[in-house]
Structure 1
Amino acid sequence: MAPPRIVRRPQVGAPLDGPAAWPDAIPPLLRRIYAARGAHSPALARPRLADLLPPDALHGLDAATTLLAAAIAGDRHIVVVGDFDCDGATACATGVRGLRLLGARRVSHAVPNRMVHGYGLSPALVDELAALQPDLLLTVDHGIACHAGIEAARARGWQVVVTDHHLPGPRLPAANAIVNPNLPGDAFPSKALAGVGVVFYLLLALRRRLYSCDRPPIRSGAGSDREDQAAAIHGRTSQEGQPDLASLLDLVAVGTVADLVPLDANNRALVAAGLRRLRAGRGCAGLRALVEACGRDAARLTAADIGFAIAPRLNAAGRLEDMALGIECLLTDDPQRARELAGLLEGINAERRAVQQHMTDDAEAALARATLAEAGAPLAPCLFDPEWHPGVIGLVASKMKERLHRPVLAFAPAEPGSGVLRGSARSIPGFHIRDALAAVDTAHPGLIERFGGHAMAAGLTLAKDRLAAFEQAWQAHAAAVLDDGMLQAELLSDGELLPREFDRFHAEALRDGGPWGQGFPEPLFDGLFEVLDWRVVGERHLKLTLRHPDRREPLAAIQFGGWRGRAPDPQARLAYRLAPDDYRGGQAIQLLVEHFAPA
């Protein structure tokens, strides 16, 4: 694979100037970065809860809230059915906590076990739920593809409300109500809500039905309406006693970041509000314990901390054990129990890392053999090992995708010795992985048992004896769609930093200027540097001392995983992030090197 190219990010217009447009606390550097992401004013760059889209356009809310309101009034048993990833776990906790806040007294939750039930609301899970004697099932972060499970639930006389954000297939399930911004014809402007965001919006609409039928929970508009909008989401409207749904925003933030959905303005408002709660120590006991367990400073918590520290610990439960453990951590209000559960999740995550490393080594060896056999890396690798764990294949596919910059699918037996394979797919920009699977399914009916997902990530189920036929069909589709431009990795840079911008003020402004994430990427810069000194730390990382050509003082830098077995070139072109160096403290900064190339 060719090394990535560093490409300067184009400016999408210019930021508005003047004190009336930008407060002094936002430096010109940050204004330029916002403008490059299409945000030309503080309102677009840092959206507030008052600017949240109203839920009215979200199709299915009326039917869903009617069913839930009747279930609450009739003291019926509501079971929230989660999923075994971080978005599904936070969505489940949000649903349970939110329904209880809104007066539901009989609320339980359940989550499929990856090894026992498979994905989502399956007939096997429905059989197990019968012991709970539910009246209504509320699915969160899944359901849009769970036709058989929903039919089995309806056959038992249960009502089913689906909340999901995954792309639907050609036929919708026979649920009593479906809330999904990605349904055909749905008019909700933001299609980027995570599963936890969808259930949060359902709760907003349900509160309106239960407590304030004469006004929406969030009103569109400007000026004096802004206070009303912000107050409404906190439950402070003209009617007293409304539940404070803002207490759920820490969970919404974690699930939204973890699921890698685009951080459009609506999602950034949700994530920013959730981060504020966590930084202020007002998150739920489980999230506070997880922040403590992963050694992060709650007061400086960022979206990156969620993505790289908190989410993996929650996800580990669903990958190797049972996500019920993670959901219990998010639901407990006992700080001591939360610490115990966070400690268990920490241990499971350590085991997950070991399993992942072993599987990644296997994948690299398999790719090396395939590259030799084909005189080049496969166009869209399909990887399988009968010993792999199905809960970790998504991480393996992601690692291989990053290293090859090609779409990658990884398969493992659904359980040891099974004739059914679980597959996880990760993609590159320009190659819509879910649509690609749909194209293969259309061209070869029956080859894939089931599939679903997004543009960049998807999952599928396949009979083991159909793997060779699937791989042939998959490679044929990839060859027809992929071109050389897609296969050239690019690093989008925000350009060079001025010499005076290498300081703590700008490093903290960049750290706190987010939330950064998918669709609103963290700032990345590039430039030429002289390597004054270097050493290897932790066996794999490269610690550097650099000099900028227009700056007298040297700069500390680190490239994680950067040691290649030889001394770095004395002159280098780097792609890097500017960050505060909290380890050294004071005014210290460091460069986090993402890419190192000879000058």
Structure 2
Amino acid sequence: MKKSNFDWRFRDAAPIDSTFKAEMLDQGYSETFAKLIWNRNIHTLEEFSQLMKANIDDLHDPFLMHDMDKAVERIQTAIMEGQPILVYGDYDADGITSTSIMLETLEMIGADVHYVLPNRFIHGYGPNKELFAEKTNEGIQLIITVDNGVAGNEAIDFANSQGVDVIVTDHHEMPPVLPDAYCIIHPRHPEGNYPFGELAGAGVAFKLATALLEEVPLEMLDLVTIGTVADLVSMTGENRNLVKLGLQAIKQTQRLGLLELLKVSSVDLQKVDETSIGFSLGPRLNAIGRLGDPNPAVELMTTFDEEIARSLAEKLNKINDERKQIVQETTAEATALVNPEDAVHLIAAKSWNPGVLGIVAGNILKQTGHPTIILSIDENGAAKGSGRSIEALDLFGMLNTMRSEFTHFGGHAAAVGLTMPVENIDNLRKMMNDYIAAEQIDLTKGSDLLIDESLALSEINLKFVEELKKLAPFGTDHPAPHFLVDGNVDFFKRIGSDQQHVKFSLKSDDSQLDAIGFGFGEDGEEIQQPDTRFVGDLEINEWNGQKKVQLRLIDFASEGLQVIDRRAKHTWNQKIESGQALYLAFQPSSQKFFAKELQQSITLYDPSINWTDYDQLIVLDCPDQKELLREISNEGHFERIYLYLYSPDEAYLNGLPSRKQFTELYQFFMKQPRVDIRFKLKIVSNYLRIPEKLLVFMIHVFSELKFVTIDDGVLQMVESPQTRAFEESEIYQKRITRIESEEFLLMNDIQTIRNWLKS
């Protein structure tokens, strides 16, 4: 069997109201779609229409936010008095777009405005005292933070001591003690009345821009959309309205930097959606801050110079390629350090790039299903990094009980950032394992995956997928619908430069569905097993003007025994799933060969082996009788059987010697009664035109029948041997059954062997 990576959960389903169903059908929608949105708690046409529409007039009044009027008044005073203003941003995509929004807004109303994004390696996250000091020394008289600031107490106190006011605009969790800022604009401020608390940093900046300009800045909808999608905030309420409006605006944008970024990302301007932002634009904006100075990204988003836009877009694209390479290398190095015995993986090494450790932790989490913390150790003995977790473990809550181990620590249930002395690592690892055991936390299920419907292939068509698109944009709290589908894999191939992705098709009766799985390259053998179920999103793949529905794979699982084909030698070093594995050989020569080939401990077949001790069986060669393999399969409780089926003497390939060949060999030894076969075997093989491995078999038969003796590699003919038929030899008879075994096991397709093993 193959367990799913996620813990599959189905939406609560209730019978659809007949009136609502009839209304949806009258509107031209399918019954499948009507049931789906009913189970998503959309129970009236009015609710459905509200979800569909996007209207500027539905955006909330920015002055409902606490201190918005105070912030506007202070900024207007600074402009009238010619006070230099600094926009202080953050180094991620939300911070970059927030900074760009505020910069453009202040330029539009005549401010003397400057901006800076901190370097994560030099200044860290949020307001930095040294950077504030540098900018106040340059003459800055008002600082506006965007996408940060609510935890910047020390730096803001310093600014106050220099007579510089700080306006904080932020959306992150508010600490118990807020900074002594001139004012704090936050959608969840306890003294505010703003009706939607889940804006991104770009959304908060957009609200301040609206208040300053006294109208909604339509030309900045593209920026607020990118920041909102990239920061993974709730895709509900006002965020959903902003993103729907922004996606329309992007398709008409004149923003040079965005156009060039779309070009280098190979994103069609007219097909931009939340997915292309999340997987193409966002990572490129984030990458520059992960590897170094993020400030050029703001210039890219705000420049009016085509050459600068083109150059900076290419720079960000190159940096993103570097980031991907670093992530790939670091993930490989970290994977090699995983201890499967640990409940929580705590992995540390010197010189890893701190900017990518959150991504790496997420990769290891996905691979192992266990919460993971990745740390980079610097030259001062400090270990700094990030952690990612699954729903079963509140990572922040657990580590909060271990605060004494850290010099810096923060985050939330699913993600943390921390710094600690390197000498505390081993103790933290033990404390975490003890905590999981004491709290009896089950980490085996993986993260939740909410499935909307189980669909037959016959229910999936272009019309239904077009209907699903009406529910977009998708994101946090409003995920794309996930579907469970069954079907047999009809076509399969690996794709990508490193064969890291898969493309296949599913078939059931007369229905067929294409599928693609990104990052599933190593799972190809298991994907092709029968009784496999697939979970994914439905999308439209358009190629050469043809539209086809395609399943984008998220997860899969299969029940019962998996039989995996490794008969081709080039597959021998592919991964074996973790578990209690038995590497089994039936022939001593195979045991010796594979011990060197695979660098594994190889067990020679013994009927006393307790097969139930193992869940993975790796069959390295062919048994003399094929039934023996089925008996082992039936006696064990294997999840997977890997069939290598190496044939050391190639019995089936070489077959049985003919009587003529036996006669010619016998006559040869009569003429050459003493032969050192250690050195002359190849000569004899060439002379008699008998394949070497077949010749060795024939010599063994002669030896068993006492036609010859072999002593220290020297063969000598026995004088006047007793006349015996070749068929009397046990070796000869064993070869007959081995040929039958190899013919069945090597020449049949894997499905035939799989069915036979299960019969």
- Confirm or deny a common fold (TM above 0.5): yes
Answering whether residue 516 of structure 2 is matched by residue 516 of structure 1, we say no
Query: Taking structure 1 as reference, are residues 598 and 430 closer, same or farther at Cα in structure 2, changes over 3 Å only?
Result: closer
**In structure 2, how many angstroms separate the alpha carbons of the residues matched to 1:346 and 1:285?**
15
- 1:18-33 correspondence to structure 2 within 5 Å: 24=27, 28-33=31-36
Letter matched to residue 8 of structure 2:
I
Provide the secondary structure at the position in 2 that maps to 1:392.
helix
Contact 2:453 2:483 in 1 (8 A): yes
Provide the residue aligned with 1:428 in structure 2.
390
The root-mean-square deviation of aligned C-alpha atoms, in Å, is: 2.8
Provide the residue aligned with 2:508 in structure 1.
548
**In structure 1, how many angstroms separate the alpha carbons of the residues matched to 2:422 and 2:133?**
26
Query: Taking structure 1 as reference, are residues 452 and 482 closer, same or farther at Cα in structure 2, changes over 3 Å only?
Result: farther
Provide the secondary structure at the position in 1 that maps to 2:280.
helix
- 1:229-308 correspondence to structure 2 within 5 Å: 235=215, 244-278=216-250, 280-282=251-253, 284-308=255-279
Letter matched to residue 52 of structure 1:
L
Contact 1:379 1:406 in 2 (8 A): yes
Aligned pair partner of 1:146 in 148, 152, 159: 152
The farther-off stretch of 307-316 and 177-186 is: 177-186
User: Which protein has greater RCO, CA pairs closer than 8 Å, 6+ apart?
Assistant: 1
**In structure 2, how many angstroms separate the alpha carbons of the residues matched to 1:152 and 1:515?**
42
The farther-off stretch of 578-587 and 170-179 is: 578-587
Provide the residue aligned with 2:525 in structure 1.
566
Deviations 1:372-431 (A, max 9, x none): xx3xxx333322211210111111122222333443322224xx5244443223232364
Answering whether residue 512 of structure 2 is matched by residue 505 of structure 1, we say no
Provide the residue aligned with 1:171 in structure 2.
177
Answering whether residue 353 of structure 2 is matched by residue 394 of structure 1, we say no
Deviation (angstroms), 1:455:
4.3
Deviation (angstroms), 1:200:
1.4
Deviations 1:456-508 (A, max 9, x none): 33323334444445555555555566732784433221113365642223333
Deviations 1:264-303 (A, max 9, x none): 222111111111111x231622222111111111211111
**In structure 2, how many angstroms separate the alpha carbons of the residues matched to 1:575 and 1:258?**
24
Contact 1:268 1:515 in 2 (8 A): yes
Contact 1:428 1:486 in 2 (8 A): no
**In structure 2, how many angstroms separate the alpha carbons of the residues matched to 1:35 and 1:482?**
37
Provide the residue aligned with 2:293 in structure 1.
322
Deviation (angstroms), 1:130:
3.3
**In structure 2, how many angstroms separate the alpha carbons of the residues matched to 1:113 and 1:584?**
45
Query: Taking structure 1 as reference, are residues 118 and 57 closer, same or farther at Cα in structure 2, changes over 3 Å only?
Result: same
Larger Rg: 2
**In structure 1, how many angstroms separate the alpha carbons of the residues matched to 2:62 and 2:254?**
24
Deviations 1:192-245 (A, max 9, x none): 21111111122223334xxxxxxxxxxxxxxxxxxxxxxxxxx3xxxxxxxx51
Size of the aligned set, in residue pairs, is 548
Query: Taking structure 1 as reference, are residues 187 and 432 closer, same or farther at Cα in structure 2, changes over 3 Å only?
Result: farther
Query: Taking structure 1 as reference, are residues 183 and 579 closer, same or farther at Cα in structure 2, changes over 3 Å only?
Result: same
Deviation (angstroms), 1:33:
3.7
Gaps of 5+ in 1: 209-234, 236-243
Tell me the TM-score normalised to structure 2 length.
0.67
Provide the secondary structure at the position in 1 that maps to 2:337.
helix
Letter matched to residue 411 of structure 1:
L
Letter matched to residue 270 of structure 1:
L
Contact 1:281 1:288 in 2 (8 A): no
Answering whether residue 581 of structure 2 is matched by residue 581 of structure 1, we say no
Contact 2:456 2:486 in 1 (8 A): no
Tell me the TM-score normalised to structure 1 length.
0.84
Provide the residue aligned with 1:335 in structure 2.
306
**In structure 1, how many angstroms separate the alpha carbons of the residues matched to 2:12 and 2:292?**
45
Contact 1:312 1:349 in 2 (8 A): yes
Contact 2:229 2:277 in 1 (8 A): yes
Provide the residue aligned with 1:63 in structure 2.
70
The farther-off stretch of 10-19 and 294-303 is: 10-19
Letter matched to residue 520 of structure 1:
H
Provide the secondary structure at the position in 2 that maps to 1:120.
coil
**In structure 1, how many angstroms separate the alpha carbons of the residues matched to 2:536 and 2:225?**
26
Provide the secondary structure at the position in 2 that maps to 1:104.
coil
Query: Taking structure 1 as reference, are residues 596 and 438 closer, same or farther at Cα in structure 2, changes over 3 Å only?
Result: closer
The farther-off stretch of 167-176 and 477-486 is: 477-486
Answering whether residue 450 of structure 2 is matched by residue 492 of structure 1, we say yes
Provide the residue aligned with 2:20 in structure 1.
17
The farther-off stretch of 36-45 and 296-305 is: 36-45
Aligned pair partner of 2:85 in 75, 78, 85: 78
Deviation (angstroms), 1:529:
0.5
**In structure 2, how many angstroms separate the alpha carbons of the residues matched to 1:365 and 1:535?**
27
Provide the residue aligned with 2:8 in structure 1.
6
Provide the secondary structure at the position in 1 that maps to 2:503.
strand
Deviation (angstroms), 1:258:
0.8
**In structure 2, how many angstroms separate the alpha carbons of the residues matched to 1:22 and 1:451?**
54
Provide the residue aligned with 1:598 in structure 2.
558
Provide the secondary structure at the position in 1 that maps to 2:119.
coil
**In structure 1, how many angstroms separate the alpha carbons of the residues matched to 2:455 and 2:256?**
40
Gaps of 5+ in 2: 560-759
Letter matched to residue 255 of structure 2:
C
- 1:353-368 correspondence to structure 2 within 5 Å: 353-367=324-338
Letter matched to residue 525 of structure 2:
R
